[in-house]
A and B are shown apart, each in its own frame.
Chain A
Amino acid sequence: MPERWLRNLILMGAALLALLTAGGPAFPQAGPIRIGFIAPQTGVFAANGRDMLVGFQMFWEERNYTVAGRKVEVISEDDVGVPANTLTKARKLVEQDRVHMLVGPLTASSGLALRDFVDSARVATIYPIVSADDITQRRRTPYIVRVGWTSSQPNHPFGEWIARNTPYRRIAAIGYDFAFGHENVGGFQRTFEEAGGRIVQKLWPPIGAPDYGPYLTQLRRDVDAVYAIFSGTDALRFLSQYQEFGLKGRIPLIGGGTLTDEHVLPQMGNEALDVVTPLHYSAALTSSENRAFASAYAKKAGRPPSYYSENSYTGARFIYEALLAIRGNVENRDAFLAALRRVTIPDAARGPVRLDAYANPVQNIYIRKVERRGGLLQNTVVFTYPNVSQFWKYDPEEFLRLPVYSRDYPPLRP
């Protein structure tokens, strides 16, 4: 019965493959400072999670996995970007592996789920990527230090910049129908309208919409520009469909920073040219610090660093500096958290970074434009807003009395 043999052969092949690609815990088991790292390595967000892990590992490799005379052990877990998994993995890292801190996760939903766990388990946690505004605003906890950004942070200066430096007055916005999209659009809308512009339409497709046709055909054609906020495969699809429907070149496209971030830019073509976005990083920054980082990263990963890479790398640097300051005594959690909040990095790849009183970075925001240089697309910086806080020019307490940006806030006034 040859079929039976063939079938068993295939099954054995699959089992063998699983074993071969396994390869045991991916990190040296030497040091006593244990860091639990949670990011998706499979599923829709696998590529973004890979950028995070590579950036984080790169920093520790450069420091030989040592700080203040103690070894550092990074235990990496894959949560597939699914919140329920994030929680289980976090429990495992905290209760089984006894890690001293958690780093991660990637998706906003995972970040929101993890927040409550961290708050009740009182684990020092570093959020390099999750940008849901309220994590360091209305729902902040002493145990989470954010070294990335809030979704609205780059958009506050961007709204003002667009109103002052372009002829765009009426803009249609299209973005993800969850906190990340709402907060990007909301931040932009607030400052853009305060500077005299007007958002005349808001469309909210879901994450992972296979086809943007139904939305693109609805976009108003009487606007000066379209603001879009997507990420990953959605950004890729949106931009190519924007061109497909003949909108490229007819209505200028601007958007949130992830739309053209380097995690997806290498996969894009001419449809991305001339798109203007704000973010706290660009791989094309010309500072010597970033050039050194970007070339070292490209050598290791074979692709330019994305903001996922930089934030995880600089996040590791935050941890390193804080541990130095407390002489490696990570067991004193409160001292470690306090030291983390005091860290200032004048020479990060993204520029100078320090934390505000709410544990969110104060950092440069770059207005970038996609250009082709030497055959490759890049986010060329056209303007820099230095030292931007998550509250922009507003008073923090007044800012926090307003509701968090949402689908309907600020409201649409057509």
Chain B
Amino acid sequence: MQFWIAQTLNGLSFGALLFLLASGLSLIFGLMRIVNIAHGSYYLLGAYVAISVVRATGSFLLAVVTAAAVLAAIGVVMQRLFLARFYRQELAQVLLTMGFTFVFADLTLLLWGGDPQRLSVPPLLARAVPIGPVFFPAYRLAVMLVGATVALLLWLVQEKTRIGAVVRAAVDDQEMARGLGINVGPLLTGMFALGAALAGFGGVMGAPFLGAYPGADSDVLPLAFAVVIIGGLGSLKGALVGSALVGVLDNLGKALFPELSYFTLFVPMAVILAIRPTGLFGRT
């Protein structure tokens, strides 16, 4: 019992972190059909920026804001100056984001050095709290809360606001949206920036327990991809369900079949693909 509670909680907290990455990845894909390989780099950049800000000012909140802003800016530059030119040219876009991944990896090494770095857990959350028979880190519970809040906010924006309606229209049929006089260009740029900012935010939230180091970008990327593939590309609900599923599956896999841990994640994924190539909630 203790085992299952502990593993499930841990899986969900990791899933919450994945959701911050996957929701942005999914949003960008849904609107622009871009497979953004650089999304892992956004995560790492967010973590590094936050570490620098905390070191300089001591404020975790300021670190969150700065990291999100910096990543949004990077997102705007990448989308407007590079990716927008290659509308609907998947191959060109994937190669571009791949190139940026290498460039970012080297730039972070230049700027922050190769030493692994860690963000301290905010003192308020630096403890383990008892949940039934298990002690669980308070910070991870906070991450779950943050993930749920972000999911709720995104859902509210998507369903209840004008911007959300416009985005939904653009996801469904971009040509039609254009035809209706919606200025799609700035919308796409804005949503790309939002996706990047979410990933950067994920980096900040992940830094206290996963750390920041060269290679963290490619450590989280496969998991984020697994989430959107299982959940369905372009679907918020899919990102949410997929994150929880991947978080828990990955955890149980590591605990129960350590040698096949990576595979326990990808076999269910393959099965889902075989039945529904667009994922659980993806539209065909």
Contact = CB atoms under 8 A, between A and B. Distances in A.
Interface string B38-50: 0000000000000
Nearest to B13: A213
A211 B261 CA distance: 13
A7 interface: yes
Interface string A194-221: 0000000001111011110111011000
Contacts of B82: 7
A211 B211 CA distance: 10
A94 to B, nearest CB: 27
Interface in B125-145: 126-128, 134-137, 139-140
Interface stretch (B26-34, B114-122, B164-172): B114-122
B135 A3 contact: no
Interface in B200-218: 208-211, 213-216
Contacts of A213: 10, 13-14, 140, 251
Contacts of B134: 217
Contact of B115 (A14, A21, A47): A47
Q: Which of under 10, 10 to 19, 20 to 34, or 35 or more describes the interface residues of B? A: 35 or more
A44 B106 contact: no
A50 interface: yes
A244 B14 CA distance: 14
A60 to B, nearest CB: 22
Interface string A26-66: 00000000000000001111111110000000000000000
A203 B258 CA distance: 9
A44 B192 CA distance: 29
Contacts of B11: 214
A245 B128 contact: yes
A244 B116 contact: no
B22 to A, nearest CB: 15
Interface residues of B, dominant DSSP: helix
Contacts of B258: 177, 203-205
Given A233-B213, A244-B137, A211 B14 contact: yes
Contacts of B116: 47, 232-233, 236-237, 264, 267
B62 interface: no
B58 interface: no
Contacts of A206: 261
A246 interface: yes
A267 B214 contact: no
B100 to A, nearest CB: 10
Nearest to A303: B115
B81 A10 contact: yes
B254 A214 contact: yes
Given A245-B128, A246-B127, A246-B135, A47 B113 contact: yes
Contacts of B135: 245-246
A269 interface: yes
A85 interface: no
A246 B128 contact: yes
B187 to A, nearest CB: 17
Interface string B88-119: 00000000000000010010011001111110
B255 interface: yes
A217 B211 contact: no
B70 to A, nearest CB: 16
A218 B134 CA distance: 11
Contact of A233 (B13, B140, B211, B255): B211
Contacts of A233: 116, 211, 213, 215
A208 B251 contact: no
Contacts of B14: 211, 213
A3 B84 CA distance: 11
A241 interface: yes
Contact of A236 (B109, B118, B140, B220): B118
A218 B215 CA distance: 26
Interface in B211-240: 211, 213-216, 219-220, 223
A213 B109 CA distance: 27
A356 to B, nearest CB: 34
Given A3-B81, A264-B115, 11 more contacts: A7-B82, A46-B109, A48-B114, A209-B254, A210-B216, A210-B219, A213-B10, A214-B254, A215-B255, A237-B116, A244-B209
